[in-house]
Amino acid sequence: MIAEPALATGPVQATDGVIAAINLRSTLAQSWNRFWQAPLRAGIAEGLIEQEQLNAQFLGDLDAYDRLEQLAGHLVRLDPESARTALIEAQVAASTHRFAFARDCLARATHRGCPALAAQRLAMSIDQACGVSLEVLLEQRWGHARETGRLEDWVPLGSLLVDLGEFDAAERAYCRALDAYRDVSPFAVAWVCFLLGVLWGERAPRPQHARAARWYAKAIEDLPGYVKARVHLAEIEAAEGRCSEARALLLPVLASADPEVSWRLCDVSMAQGRPAEAQALCEAARSGFERLLARHPLAFADHAAEFYAGSGNDARRAFELTAIDLANRPTLRAFEKAHAAAIQAGEALEAASILAAARQRWGSTPAFLQSPLAAAQPHPEPGHAD
Amino acid sequence: MSDHVDGPRQIGDPSADLTDLFAFISPADPNRTVLAANVFPSAGTQAMFSNAIDHAIVARRLTIAGTGEKTQFKPSDPELRFTFRFDVLERATQGKRPLQRGTCTVPGGQAIRFVVDDENGSTSADGTYRVFAGLRSDPFYLAWIVAEMKKFPNLLQHDNVLTFLIEFDTRRVLDPAKGSLFGVIAETIPIPKPGGFIGHDPPRIDWVGRPEQTNMRLNNNGMEGTDDVRDLWNQQTPFAISEELMPLFRKRMVDSLKNWDMRDGKEDWTPAALAANANMFLDDFMTIDVTKPTSDTSHLEIEKSTLAGRPYQTGGGRTVDSDVIDILLTWMVNHDREFLQGGSTGATKPGTTRFPYLAAPNAELQNIAFSVDLAAPPDRVWALIGGFGGQWHPLVASIKLTGTGVGQLRTIETIDGKQLIERLDAMDNARRSYRYTSIAGIPATDYTGVLDVKPKGSGSSVEWRVQYMPGGQPDIIVKTISSTLLKTGLDSLKPRFGVPQ
């Protein structure tokens, strides 16, 4: 393992995160106006997709996905036969993890002559999200990163390396991304810091919480409204017994549409001896997840499953959701989660079946050797998570 | 569009994206010059300046080093640099925009502090300089679908931008006795972290001289299969384009101008004149003679006269209301044979004759849209809802029509006793769509609605959307009235026509 690099994030200052968040929301409203005025004008819908994705990813405005579907639906009504519409449909579908439909749309877009590079990049993202052809992808990702040297290409390479279990190489790719960055948007910088936090806090076989916490804190420093970074850091703080710090991280973003905030705050409230508050927050999280699942089941199945496996206290629902996620994208991580959920739900046969399928699909990869599935027993006792 | 969103790097942080540069003699005082630049296309109503960027306007004295086919404007030292730098936000009072302050550093190093959005601006102690920065109505207008040369309403209607502007005493600052012709550019440069860049400045994000250097000339969307060179251009040093890259830019410029010349099917430029024009545009700075008057029509006059081998008559420059797109298109497409007027004759709001010259920002246009998928074919659905006077909506007690065809009015009595009056603006039975405007009954302005039915699978999809500017009433009232009207109406169609399984 390489030594931990300094929390260096490129040679230029980034725009203050509060200003950047205000500006994103401000420009979004205007972009929608322009879209409704001239929906077929090139660039408007494409820009809106980027802005809404930033809005959802960083500011926790998950209604963005509804608006994106409305956007795609409107274009389908107005211009159903164009390559552009099909490509946008594919982008929107991929953003809510409807990968099979996204592939269909992408095939239509390609058939109709959409730009090859745009189609290739989206196809790569979908393959990566679904755990398909990762070795081929790795070669392509390296090629793009070396060719352009841009943050936008180093980051997906880093994420792919994480999926392949090459954590030190992934960290180096993320740090190359930060070093390559010459622009002033704090979103990109905060994003990479967050991914470094996830790498060391969740994905590495032996999590290093202090190391992860520093990256999450850096992401929040760059972008104070970064909901997911606050949630993840709060989780670490709470696990370390620093519940007040965890609460202070979560309260400012409680109004966001992300039910994970209520869920984590529920855990903190419980640890602080506030059961009534915890109960209310748990209900808020449950209804929040169910509302999202009703509209975008594939996008939120894995997160909701984690909730139900924890404070949501419904192991069967958790298993149902992990099974949906696994069917949608059979990544090694999805297998791990589904297997754990099956065991927790007392579904020993299902767990064994998932394990067998995971071994068949991933057993020959180096990543599998680092996975908890490598040591899992084919027929564990019901009711015990591995 | 002028310089709006002119490269991938700007899309990362739109507050770094320069949209337009203006240089004109103050209409309030002919002894004062105004230089202004805008950033952040489609800034909305809340946008603030980035605190991580130096926003600069730079002027250099020019000499005319050649005329006619040898036209050349030669910049000389020293540069006069006006740099705006912005602070992080201060806490907002309830319901107001957060407070942002900034500093403008002028040639010689004097620093002038100002408050963003203060329309009075800040004036230096001796009155030489006056500065402003804040949200304004975007004065730029583009009223063409340029790829097809088709007239269109202003594509930037209701847009706002962030403006930074400096007005100064022309004689004291520019000393026109030494030469009155100036080239002006604006640029955005990231502020390095301490020790971030050793031995050189950070690469600029964007710069702008004359309008449309990047989005129309270097990145001509009528030329398929060409590489996007906008970022490469934006990273050049203004007044000193790389000699190494100049052949690439020159070839692109010539090819692009040839393409523009043929957009009307007629060749109006000789190869030699076109080459001279290309060279002129590659000297990319806004030219202004500060001893001559500027007007809404004087933009490019200095360049055109010099290319024609005659002395220029005006101050050139670019005023706030200058119709730069039509001036430019006319020049590039038909060599000023016939003025090409786009689909609008002005921006959302005209500029003003008083400081800070750019109009106050626009309110945010509101949109509400609902749609429903139905099992019935579109013609069947349109037969019910496609009549402007059709009475199918469950919240409508009665409808009375006045007049016929486009322009007719419908007076709606709702079941709770309210009256709405609406005018038919367009009816397209072939596309199963109509558009209307609210005349009375909804407390909003510019309230327009569109109802249409499109085929979807073996059934249809109905969409109803309205757009308006908030009036005196709280927006929630209009939003609630409109949403209820639209949603209830569309929901009532489900039991009539069924929904797809």
CA B211 distance to own-chain centroid: 11
Asked if omega into B78 is within 30° of 0 (cis), the reply is: yes
In angstroms, the CA A219 to CA A222 distance is 5
Nearest to B16 among A18, A50, A184 (CB): A184
| pLDDT higher than threshold 70 for residue B41 | yes
- pLDDT score, position A257: 84
| pLDDT higher than threshold 90 for residue A330 | yes
Q: Chain B residues with CB inside 8 Å of A26's CB? A: 43-47
**Inter-chain residue contact A15 with B89, CB threshold 8 Å:** no
Mean pLDDT of all residues in B269-282? 97
- pLDDT score, position B239: 94
Lowest mean pLDDT among A273-282, B147-156, B376-385: B147-156
Mean pLDDT of all residues in B325-341? 97
Contact call for residues A138 and A131 (beta carbons, < 8 A)? no
Contact B43/A at CB under 8 A: yes
Lowest mean pLDDT among A170-184, B192-206, B420-434, B469-483: B192-206
Mean pLDDT of all residues in A206-219? 95
| β-pair type (B32-39, B18-25) | antiparallel
Q: HEC states along B51-106?
A: CCEEEEEEEEEEEEEECHHHCEEEECCCCEEEEEEECCCECCCCCCCCECEEEEEC
**Inter-chain residue contact B44 with A14, CB threshold 8 Å:** no
Contact A115/B at CB under 8 A: no
Contact call for residues A170 and A161 (beta carbons, < 8 A)? yes
* pLDDT band, very low/low/confident/very high, at A200 (cuts 50, 70, 90): very high
| pLDDT higher than threshold 70 for residue A14 | yes
pLDDT digits (tens, 9 = 90+) for A358-367: 999 999 999 9
Nearest to B12 among A26, A74, A183 (CB): A183
Q: Chain B residues with CB inside 8 Å of A30's CB? A: 42-45, 158-160, 364
* pLDDT band, very low/low/confident/very high, at A2 (cuts 50, 70, 90): very low
Percent of chain B exceeding pLDDT 70 equals 95
Asked if omega into A205 is within 30° of 0 (cis), the reply is: no
Task: Tell me the one-letter amino acid at B299.
Answer: H
How many alpha carbons fall within 13 Å on the CB side of residue A102?
27
Mean pLDDT of all residues in B413-430? 93
pTM confidence score: 0.87
Mean pLDDT of all residues in A153-167? 94
C-alpha distances out from residue A222 to A184, A217, A219, A229, B112, Å: 11, 9, 5, 11, 28
Residue A52, helix vs strand vs coil: helix
Instruction: List all residues of chain B from 113 to 152 with a beta carbon under 8 Å from chain A.
Output: 145
- pLDDT score, position B478: 85
Among B217, B216, B207, CA closest to B183: B207
| pLDDT higher than threshold 80 for residue A199 | yes
Contact A303/B at CB under 8 A: no
- State the average pLDDT for chain B: 92
Q: Which element (helix H / strand E) includes A48? A: helix A44-59
- Tell me the residue ranges of DSSP E strands in B379-494: 396-402, 409-414, 419-428, 433-440, 444-456, 459-470
Among B307, B226, B217, CA closest to B270: B307
Mutation for B interface: A9, A185, A218, most B CBs within 10 A: A185
Q: How is chain B split into domains, by residue range?
A: 8-210+285-334, 366-497
- pLDDT score, position B442: 87
* pLDDT band, very low/low/confident/very high, at A10 (cuts 50, 70, 90): low
Count the neighbouring beta carbons within 10 Å of the beta carbon of residue A273.
9
Compare all CA atoms of chain A with the CA of B368 and give the residue at the minimum distance: A36
Phi-psi map region of B405: left, alpha, beta (phi>0 left; psi -120 to 50 alpha): left
Mutation for A interface: B1, B39, B45, B46, most A CBs within 10 A: B46
Question: In terms of C-beta density within 10 A (0-12 exposed, 13-18 middle, 19 or more buried), how is residue B147 classed?
Answer: exposed
Per-residue exposure over A318-346, b if at least 16 CB sit within 10 Å of its own CB, e if not: bbbbbbbbbebbbbbbbbbbbbbbbbbbe
What DSSP state is assigned to residue A4?
A: P
* pLDDT band, very low/low/confident/very high, at B9 (cuts 50, 70, 90): very low
pLDDT digits (tens, 9 = 90+) for B277-295: 999 999 999 999 999 999 9
Q: Residue holding tokens 């405007």?
A: B437
| pLDDT higher than threshold 60 for residue B407 | yes
- pLDDT score, position B97: 81
- Tell me the residue ranges of DSSP E strands in B156-289: 160-169, 181-190, 206-208, 286-289
| pLDDT higher than threshold 80 for residue A41 | yes
In angstroms, the CA B398 to CA B416 distance is 11
C-alpha distances out from residue B332 to B266, B272, B282, Å: 12, 14, 14
Instruction: Find the Cα–Cα–Cα–Cα dihedral A44, A46, A52, A54, rounded to 10°.
Output: -120
- pLDDT score, position B234: 85
Planar angle of CA B94, A222, A289, nearest 5 degrees:
75
Q: Chain A residues with CB inside 8 Å of B48's CB? A: 19, 22-23
The dihedral through the CA atoms of B481, A51, A122, A212 has a sign that is: negative
In angstroms, the CA A29 to CA B362 distance is 13
Q: A266: Cβ–Cβ under 8 A, 6 or more apart, which residues?
A: A278, A279, A281, A282, A284, A285, A311
Mutation for B interface: A7, A9, A16, most B CBs within 10 A: A16
Among A24, A100, A120, A32, CA closest to A71: A32
| pLDDT higher than threshold 60 for residue B198 | no
pLDDT digits (tens, 9 = 90+) for B348-372: 999 999 999 999 999 888 889 999 9
- pLDDT score, position B47: 95
Contact A40/B at CB under 8 A: no
Task: Tell me the one-letter amino acid at B247.
Answer: P
| pLDDT higher than threshold 50 for residue B403 | yes
| pLDDT higher than threshold 70 for residue A135 | yes
- pLDDT score, position B92: 74
C-alpha distances out from residue A40 to A50, B55, B221, B342, Å: 17, 33, 16, 19
Please give the order of strands across the beta sheet that includes B160-169.
B18-25, B32-39, B160-169, B129-137, B122-123
What DSSP state is assigned to residue B316?
A: B
* pLDDT band, very low/low/confident/very high, at B472 (cuts 50, 70, 90): low
Mean pLDDT of all residues in A57-70? 94
pLDDT digits (tens, 9 = 90+) for B132-168: 999 999 999 988 888 888 898 888 888 999 999 999 9
| pLDDT higher than threshold 60 for residue A37 | yes
| β-pair type (B80-86, B101-105) | antiparallel
Instruction: Kindly report the nearest CA distance between residue B126 and chain A, in angstroms.
Output: 33
In angstroms, the CA B168 to CA B149 distance is 39
* pLDDT band, very low/low/confident/very high, at A3 (cuts 50, 70, 90): very low
Contact B487/A at CB under 8 A: no
- pLDDT score, position B474: 65
**Inter-chain residue contact B42 with A10, CB threshold 8 Å:** no
| pLDDT higher than threshold 70 for residue A51 | yes
CATH class of B366-497: alpha beta
**Inter-chain residue contact B52 with A30, CB threshold 8 Å:** no
Count the neighbouring beta carbons within 10 Å of the beta carbon of residue A42.
11
Q: What is the ipTM of this complex?
A: 0.88
Q: Chain B residues with CB inside 8 Å of A153's CB? A: none
Instruction: Kindly report the nearest CA distance between residue B250 and chain A, in angstroms.
Output: 25
**Inter-chain residue contact A36 with B98, CB threshold 8 Å:** no
In angstroms, the CA B42 to CA B2 distance is 13
| pLDDT higher than threshold 50 for residue B8 | no
**Inter-chain residue contact B193 with A12, CB threshold 8 Å:** yes
In angstroms, the CA B230 to CA B220 distance is 11
